[in-house]
Amino acid sequence: MASGEGIQKSATGIEGFDELTLGGLPTGRPTLVCGSAGCGKTLFASTFLIHGAREENEPGVFVTFEERPSEIVANVASLGFGLDGLIEEGRILIEHIAIDASQVAEIGDFDLEGLFLRLELAIDQVGAKRIVLDTVESLFSAFTNQAILRAEIRRLFDWLKDKGVTAVITGERGDGTLTRQGLEEYVSDCVILLDHRVTNQVSTRRLRIVKYRGTAHGTNEYPFLIDEDGFSVLPVSGLGLDHHVYDERISTGVPDLDAMLEGGGFFRASSILLSGVAGSGKSSIAAAFADAACARGETALYFSFEESAQQTVRNMRSIGIDLGRWIEAGLLHHVATRPTFYSLEMHLAIMLREIARRRPRLVVLDPISAFIDSGDPLEVQAMLLRIVDYLKVEGITGVFTHLASSTDLAKTEAGLSSLMDAWILLLNREASGEFNRELYLLKARGIAHSNQVREFLMSEAGLRLLPPYVGEGVALTGAARRAEENRERRNEAVRRDEAARRQRDVDHRRRRALSQIEALQAEIEADEAELDALVRSEEDYVRQAVSDASGMVEARKGR
pLDDT in tens, 227-256: 777 787 865 545 556 678 899 999 999 999
pLDDT at 544: 82
pLDDT at 473: 54
pLDDT at 4 over 50: no
3-state SS string for 21-63: CCCCEECCCEEEEEECCCCCHHHHHHHHHHHHHHHCCCCEEEE
pLDDT at 104: 43
pLDDT at 2 over 90: no
pLDDT band at 340 (very low <50, low <70, confident <90, very high): confident
- The stretch 460-473 carries a mean pLDDT of 77
pLDDT at 22: 85
Of 144-148, 210-214, 547-551, where does the model show the most confidence?
A: 210-214
For the chain, what are the domain ranges?
2-238, 249-468
Q: Which residues pair with 34 in a beta bridge?
A: 171, 193
pLDDT at 142: 60
pLDDT at 102 over 60: no
Q: For 351-405, what is each residue's pLDDT tens digit? A: 888 898 899 999 999 988 888 766 667 777 778 888 888 899 899 999 999 988 6
Question: Cβ distance 206 to 221 under 8 Å?
Answer: yes
- The stretch 344-357 carries a mean pLDDT of 83
CATH of 249-468, one of 3.40.50.300, 3.40.50.2000, 3.90.1150.10, 3.40.30.10: 3.40.50.300
pLDDT at 106 over 50: no
Instruction: Identify the three-state secondary structure at position 81.
Output: coil
CATH of 2-238, one of 3.30.300.30, 3.30.565.10, 3.40.50.300, 3.30.479.10: 3.40.50.300
pLDDT at 295: 96
Of 112-126, 263-277, 499-513, 545-559, where does the model show the most confidence?
A: 263-277
Beta strand ranges found along 328-380 (DSSP E): 332-336, 362-366
pLDDT at 448 over 80: yes
Phi and psi at residue 183, in whole multiples of 5°? -125, -30
pLDDT at 372: 75
pLDDT at 474 over 70: no
Mean pLDDT of the chain, nearest integer: 82
Query: CA-CA distance, 452 to 441, in Å (whole number)?
Result: 8
pLDDT band at 178 (very low <50, low <70, confident <90, very high): low
pLDDT at 73: 85
pLDDT at 302 over 90: yes
- The stretch 287-309 carries a mean pLDDT of 95
Same fold, 2-238 and 249-468: yes
Q: Is the pTM of this model over 0.85?
A: no
The more confident residue out of 272 and 346 is 272
Kindly tell me the sign of the dihedral angle through the C-alpha atoms of 291, 265, 240, 403: negative
Please classify residue 255 by burial: count the beta carbons closer than 10 Å to its beta carbon, then call 0-12 exposed, 13-18 middle and 19+ buried. middle
pLDDT at 277 over 90: no
- The stretch 76-100 carries a mean pLDDT of 82
Query: CA-CA distance, 126 to 112, in Å (whole number)?
Result: 22
Question: Cβ distance 436 to 311 under 8 Å?
Answer: no
Beta strand ranges found along 173-213 (DSSP E): 190-199, 202-212
In this prediction, what percent of the chain has a pLDDT beyond 90? 31
pLDDT at 320 over 90: yes
The more confident residue out of 185 and 543 is 543
Query: CA-CA distance, 513 to 515, in Å (whole number)?
Result: 5
pLDDT at 107: 38
pLDDT at 105: 41
Looking at 33-42, 420-429, 450-459, 487-496, which range is the least confident one?
A: 487-496
